[in-house]
Amino acid sequence: MAEETTFYGLVEDLEKYLEYQRDEGIQRLEVHRSVLEALAKEPEPEVVEEIVVEAAPIPTDFQSLEAIATYISTCTNCELCQERNCTVPGEGKAESPDIMFIGEGPGAEEDAQGRPFVGKAGQLLSKMIDAMGYSREDVFIGNVVKCRPPNNRKPVKEEMDLCLPYLRQQIGLIKPKIIVGLGGTAMEGLLGRPVSITRMRGVWQEYNGMKLMPTFHPSYLLRDPSKKKDAWADLKLVLAELGKEPPARK
Ligand code: URA
């Protein structure tokens, strides 16, 4: 059945469209007078039927990463399921890798492929991993949320909290020696509280008894390459903790 278009629905769509244009850097738009007149009219109050979406409890006893990924593929616990193409559970070495990298959530390319960090930020992350003397297959790469937030907005706290049981159990099964949190949002999702990544980066944290190193997100490093040296210093601390040195530059 076709969905009825309501005044409020139209306003909401318009708002989302304008926010998207703003994020794309558009500062002016031409709007037809009739649109402004229609928006200025006070509509009859709508009778809104309240739909309560209850998040289904996530099992706490997954036995394998595959079981988690299969469960995630049909998860509808938050709004992010509505616009996703693929779920992105994460990938890499599943048995006690030296490092597990955790980002905030999939972007457009990740949503299309169902794989983490395969877009521009992913290319930089691959270079960072390579500079540390590893390949992507040597480490595990995951995210706090497993579905792409629309227009690449940050996942909100509720979405991260609802998705966290997956990551927590992934970490429990993978048992990485060290976790690297990529960016403030990923760190907020992991720790469940607001953080300043500028102050926290390079300072060891703890996640369920494991060592957690916060550093800048590769997307941020693409926007501000001057911060790459800080991120490299953080990754060298990770190598030192693992008793390793960065390999000589090729
Ligand atoms: N940014 C993230 O945080 N995660 C991805 O998988 C890709 C981009």
Angle at which helices 228-241 and 120-131 pack, to 10 degrees?
A: 50
| 65 inside domain | no
Query: pLDDT per residue over 8-26, tens digit each?
Result: 666 666 766 776 666 565 6
Tell me the CA distances in angstroms from 188 to 94, 181, 226, one per residue in order.
24, 9, 24
**Cβ-based burial of 74 (10 A; exposed 0-12, middle 13-18, buried ≥19):** exposed
What's the whole-model pTM score? 0.80
Q: Percent of the chain beyond pLDDT 90?
A: 77
Of ligand 1's listed atoms, the one at least distance from the Cα of 116 is: 6
Q: CB of 188 closer than 6 A to ligand 1?
A: no
* β-bridge partners, 211: 178, 206
Tell whether 168 and 107 lie within a shared domain: yes
Q: CB of 92 closer than 6 A to ligand 1?
A: no
Tell whether 22 and 104 lie within a shared domain: no
Q: CB of 118 closer than 6 A to ligand 1?
A: no
Tell whether 94 and 35 lie within a shared domain: no
Residue 2 above 50 pLDDT?
no
Residue 230 above 60 pLDDT?
yes
Structural domain including 26 reads 2-40
| 205 inside domain | yes
Tell whether 117 and 28 lie within a shared domain: no
Q: CB of 90 closer than 6 A to ligand 1?
A: no
Residue 239 above 50 pLDDT?
yes
| 236 inside domain | yes
Question: Residue 102 contacts by C-beta under 8 Å, 6 or more apart in sequence?
Answer: 142, 143, 144, 167, 179, 180, 181, 182, 186, 190
Q: CB of 110 closer than 6 A to ligand 1?
A: yes
Tell whether 229 and 111 lie within a shared domain: yes
How much distance in Å is there from the Cα of 119 to the middle of ligand 1? 8
- Amino acid (1-letter code) at residue 196: S
Mean pLDDT for 91-98 is 98
Residue 4 above 90 pLDDT?
no
CATH number of the domain that residue 173 is part of: 3.40.470.10
Mean model confidence pLDDT for the chain: 90
Query: pLDDT per residue over 106-150, tens digit each?
Result: 999 999 999 999 999 999 999 999 999 999 999 999 999 999 999
Q: Which of 171, 174, 177, 173 is nearest to 190 (CA)?
A: 171
Q: CB of 181 closer than 6 A to ligand 1?
A: no
Mean pLDDT for 232-236 is 98
Query: How many other CB atoms are there within 10 angstroms of residue 159's CB atom?
Result: 21
| 136 inside domain | yes
How much distance in Å is there from the Cα of 31 to the middle of ligand 1? 35
Spatial distance between the Cα atoms of 133 and 35, rounded to a whole number of angstroms: 58
| 155 inside domain | yes
Mean pLDDT for 180-198 is 98
Under 8 Å between Cβ of 144 and 183 = no
What's the pLDDT score for residue 24?
Answer: 61
What's the pLDDT score for residue 55?
Answer: 77
Ligand 1 pocket test, pick from 109, 129, 143 with the greatest ligand atom count within 8 Å of Cβ, gives 143
Q: CB of 189 closer than 6 A to ligand 1?
A: no
Number of domains in the chain: 2
Q: CB of 91 closer than 6 A to ligand 1?
A: no
Tell whether 19 and 111 lie within a shared domain: no
| 53 inside domain | no
Q: Are strands 140-143 and 99-103 parallel, antiparallel or unpaired?
A: parallel
